[in-house]
Amino acid sequence: MKGGVSQFFSALKGKTGSLALNILGDSNAATLTESFPLLPLKELVLFPNTVTPLFITQKPGVLAVETALRQELRLFAASTKSKEDNSTSPAGTVVRIVQHLRLPDGGFRIVLQGEYRGLVVNAEEDREHVRVWVKPFKAVKSGESLDSETEALMRAVQKSFAQYAELSKKISTETISAAERSENPERLCNLVCNSLAVRVERKLALIGIEDPRDRLIAVLESLEAENEIFGIQRNISGKVKSRMERNQREYFLNEQLREINKELGKEDAVDEFEEIEKALLAKNPGEEVLEKARKEIKRIRKLQPLSPEAGVLRGYLEWLADLPWSEYSPDSIELSEAEKILDEDHFGMKKAKERILEFIAVRQLSGGSNEKAAVRGPILCFVGPPGTGKTSLGKSVARSLGRRFVRISLGGVRDEAEIRGHRKTYVGSLPGKIIQSMRKVRTMNPVFLLDEIDKLSSDFRGDPASALLEVLDPEQNSSFTDHYLELAYDLSKVLFITTANSLYGIPYPLLDRMEIIEIPGYGENEKLSIAKQFLFPKELEENGLSDAQISIRDDALLEIIRHWTMESGVRNLEREIARCIRRIARDAVKRGYRIERPVPQHEAEPLGEDAGKEGELSKGKSKPIGSFKKIISKGDLEKLLGRRKYKNDVVFKEARIGVTYGLAWTETGGAMLPVETSRFPGSGDLIITGNLGDVMKESARIALSYLRSVQDNYHFCFKDIGKNDFHIHVPEGAIPKDGPSAGITLASSLLSTLCRKAPLPGIAMTGELTLTGRILPIGGLKEKLLAAIRNGIERVLLPLENREDWEELDKDIRSALKADFVERANDAFAILFEPGILKTPRKSYTAGKPRRRSPE
């Protein structure tokens, strides 16, 4: 009970404030207030002029009733605010106990009559119940003259209440007659509110309105809302009833017709299978499909309608009728328009866009607007790090071609039946994802995106990658056979696009059938353009700030790119920009900025002075209220995003003996690969740590063997390498690492340890090292160089055979780095170390040309 009393006191204090103290402190307070025991009610609101029977079982209520029985038989009945909030509402009704009966369990059965409404102005604890002082609400006295507006509102309430009573069918005629005869606003509102079947919260709002005119308006609004709901329910019920009656009538007539035809020895004039055959003929399929469908229809006619096999055949025929067999969407063959759409949706991606435009050009030359022109759909595979826009590029391709788009995700698919379907003899069998998607898209030439093809799995249920061999072969997919259909289906006009983060997880036979288009990671300038043109406006729109004056400086975007993201794509960049916008949205709301939405047409018409304004708003668009202006600068980022996430501490600023920096490629983009080597006396062992794969361990052994073979050319600090152990470690040991391209990095780290000479700082390298000292080319050049730029590297050593790849890179990447192209390991060592490391000075070669180093 103490908890309930304290909740009541806190609610009362919040509701009345100092008003209760002022009233009680006044000398005339006794004439304004009376005190009563508080009767708390749950989910029940009592109104004056009504008689209500109740069972009282809770201890606070029992004590309040006992107190009232000893005194003047009057209580103050107040309801709790809601199911979640147990505090009592300050507004309630003074009630009189008309009858009472003590129950064996200690409770009471009482009959209460409401007298008048009032507002609690003070309360105090009296034993284990609450005693409250109540100030009556002002009410119109009986016989008092009313103004014309009040009389009009009363008539409107009486008319609406009569309509409500007719719709609800739950109100007695005595109550309806009393409401019609009532000439007092207070009595009319009490009768109507007591009869309304609305939520407790709404009744509490109606009992707490003091002004008679405002209370009449509130009651009228509640009645009109309930009448509208009743009207909608009656309309829906009528439609359902008429539909059921029509269906039953059709069923009986069809059954009678069937029996009549059976007695006459005739078959049904029209049945569902004829309808299926007509629908299939309208699709203009091949002769083989029609023959199969007619054969199955002939079989199903001989079966009982409720037999399991009939249900299977019926589902099979419906699939045949629903599939597209000759429907084609016309291609948009305007090169300029397609190029414009591709550029609007994506920044960069030059190779991918060129390939799509080539397909459109070939389509225009060979078939023009003829959808059935013999141009096979290419099988394209977009390969690149996450967040570079591969999936969304597929949607843009469909939009540029004017074709329909369908996408299925292959990540984690390990059942062959997901691709080829199940035999229709199995219970619950269905076609595979390919055929299901073709029925969904309803054309023979959609753009079909197979997402995450490198994430396919296989187990005892089959190998889905092998099932895709027929789908993704332009020479075979014109007769793709699904296990469920058992018919050849033409997929040759479909433009298949697949996406992958890496090619290593794709089986070679499947990879051989696809045309690989690399989607490399983005450089800083590309990310800046994408953020300005696409991401920032998109986040403003999604977070409701498109009408506000918000902009972001280029240096702030670059700061986010460098210190809050470390990726090849732009997915995390979009998240960080969204975080900024959300923080700003919160600040905008605090300053009073908001968006006024149009009022739905079905809502009740507003009353009063705002009627015209709301009417205009319901016809217009959303309007901003207030103004908000913000320019996001570099100095605002730590307040909006917190501390920097990436500080590029993987690279030491100063040179260190035995520490070199390689460049690695991962599925998520490029990464720095620091290599550390230490030497100590031993027996010639080579210790390799850092969670390295077999290929990388072999590269370390090759590097050590190569240096032992050329030890006469360098100033090693000891003569016998075989009496020393070497420990090579690649930090971040929790991350697996493998691949041959760290060969020159490992050799440079070993050479630095052997000669006790630190390499020049700020240089990273990549390249596979052979046992004779040649440096072989590598892949993933752009991702590796982007990783070097992100980590503050200024100079890179690259294999000579990668010079052509360097020339194809964007200008901003080439201008951010100085590249030296080397063909042999000694050329790389000559650039990486000071000249004193060599015993005999010799010429070094860079980029295939002699390169002379200064004594400095």
Catalytic residues: 741, 784
Identify the CA nearest to 437 among candidates 402, 398, 409. Answer: 409
Structure tokens that stand for 8 in this block? 């009541």
Q: Residue 624: helix, strand or coil by DSSP?
A: strand
d(CA 700, CA 691): 13
- Going by C-beta distance under 8 Å and a sequence separation of 6 or more, which residues neighbour residue 542? 578
d(CA 591, CA 584): 11
Q: Residue 13: helix, strand or coil by DSSP?
A: helix
Whether 628 contacts 550, CB under 8 Å: yes
Whether 663 contacts 787, CB under 8 Å: yes
Instruction: Pinpoint the alpha helices (H) of 33-143.
Output: 59-70
Compute the C-alpha angle 410/416/417, nearest 5°: 100
| Residue 30 CA: distances (Å) to CA of 117, 270, 397 | 17, 88, 82
| Residue 44 CA: distances (Å) to CA of 2, 81, 155, 200, 221 | 22, 10, 28, 7, 21
The burial class, CB within 10 Å (0-12 / 13-18 / 19+), for 327 is: middle
Half-sphere exposure of 335 (CA within 13 A, CB side): 12
Whether 831 contacts 846, CB under 8 Å: yes
Question: For residue 735, how far is the Cα from the chain centroid?
Answer: 29
Structure tokens that stand for 313 in this block? 């055949």
Count CB neighbours of 38 within 10 A: 27
Residue 344 belongs to what H/E stretch? helix 335-345
Count CB neighbours of 261 within 10 A: 13
Whether 624 contacts 592, CB under 8 Å: no
- Going by C-beta distance under 8 Å and a sequence separation of 6 or more, which residues neighbour residue 464? 410, 413, 414, 415, 416, 418, 419, 456, 457, 458
Identify the CA nearest to 777 among candidates 767, 764, 787, 785. Answer: 767
d(CA 704, CA 793): 26
Count CB neighbours of 665 within 10 A: 24
DSSP codes joined into one string, 813-827:
HHHH-EEEEESBHHH
Identify the CA nearest to 556 among candidates 630, 639, 636, 646. Answer: 636
Whether 204 contacts 235, CB under 8 Å: no
Burial 699-720 (b: 16+ CB within 10 A, else e): bbebbbebbeeebeebebeeee
Q: Are strands 488-489 and 108-126 parallel, antiparallel or unpaired?
A: unpaired
Structure tokens that stand for 379 in this block? 């099988």
| Residue 251 CA: distances (Å) to CA of 121, 245, 262, 618, 844 | 68, 10, 16, 46, 95
Strand partners, 651: none
Whether 435 contacts 421, CB under 8 Å: yes
Q: What is the CA radius of gyration of the chain?
A: 41
